[in-house]
Amino acid sequence: MDESRRIAGVEEVPEESTLLATLRPVDSAAVDEGEGDVGESEDGTPEVEALLTRAAGEVRAFRNYCQHWTDVRLDKDDGAFVRNGEVFCQKHGATFEADGGYCNFGPCEGAVLESVDVTVEGDGVFLADDAYEFVRLGPSAKQGDDGGSRIDFTGN
Ligand code: FES
């Protein structure tokens, strides 16, 4: 696998949280600016985020926006809340199965997180999704915050 597509070491991907990576979509015209993980690089091209987790035992990656309010990020750059193999949205409490992204509880029950294909080779996790290029670990260059004045149940 191409070293430029190496995202992280397998051990860096948490089992009880998530790791953020910034990706560049190959087709920038396909980017939906309303999705909460979309940012803009210095050269003006869109960037998006993937969250990676080992909560399901193996490394999985998904785009970092909720299926309920798509402008809400699941991982706000400090790790999403993960328990018992599920990724939580802290806005309204939706839970997504970490092995496939299926929402099994909450206001978007039945929806599925957008997968990003990754593969493990040796001790590394590599981006296997042809729709993206790997940019860096960490968040995209955000253009705004998460839903402006929308307030979640924690008061944030
Ligand atoms: S925005 Fe995620 S559950 Fe409502």
How many Cα neighbours within 13 Å face the side chain of 122?
A: 9
pLDDT at 134: 98
Provide the residue ranges of all domains of the chain, joining segments of one domain with +. 3-137
Predicted local distance difference test score (pLDDT) of residue 55: 96
Does the pLDDT value for residue 138 go beyond 60? yes
Of 84-98, 99-113, 130-144, the least confident = 130-144
Asked if residues 96 and 89 have their Cβ atoms less than 8 Å apart, the reply is yes
Provide mean pLDDT across the span 94-99.
98
Average pLDDT, the chain: 92
* The pLDDT of residue 7: 98
- Alpha-carbon distance of 99 to 120, in angstroms, equals 15
Instruction: Check residue 62 and give its pLDDT.
Output: 98
The pLDDT assigned to 1 comes to 80
* Backbone φ and ψ of 73, nearest 5°: -85, 145
Cβ(68) to ligand 1 under 6 A?
A: yes
Take residue 150 and report the two structure tokens written for it.
């929308």
* β-bridge partners, 61: 52
Q: What is the pLDDT of residue 114?
A: 98
**Angle at the Cα of 104 (from 73 to 23), degrees rounded to 5?**
30
**Residue nearest ligand 1's atom 1 by CA:** 69
What's the rounded Cα separation, in Å, for the pair 3 and 103?
Answer: 33
What dotted CATH number matches 3-137? 2.102.10.10
> For 16-37, how does the pLDDT look when each residue is reduced to its tens digit (9 = 90+)?
999 999 999 999 888 999 999 9
The residues, any chain, with a CB within 8 Å of residue 76's CB and separated by 6 or more, are 146
For residue 155, the model assigns a pLDDT of: 58
pLDDT confidence of residue 150: 54
67 Cα–ligand 1 center, Å: 7
Nearest-atom index, ligand 1, CA of 89: 2
pLDDT at 112 over 50: yes
pLDDT of residue 141: 86
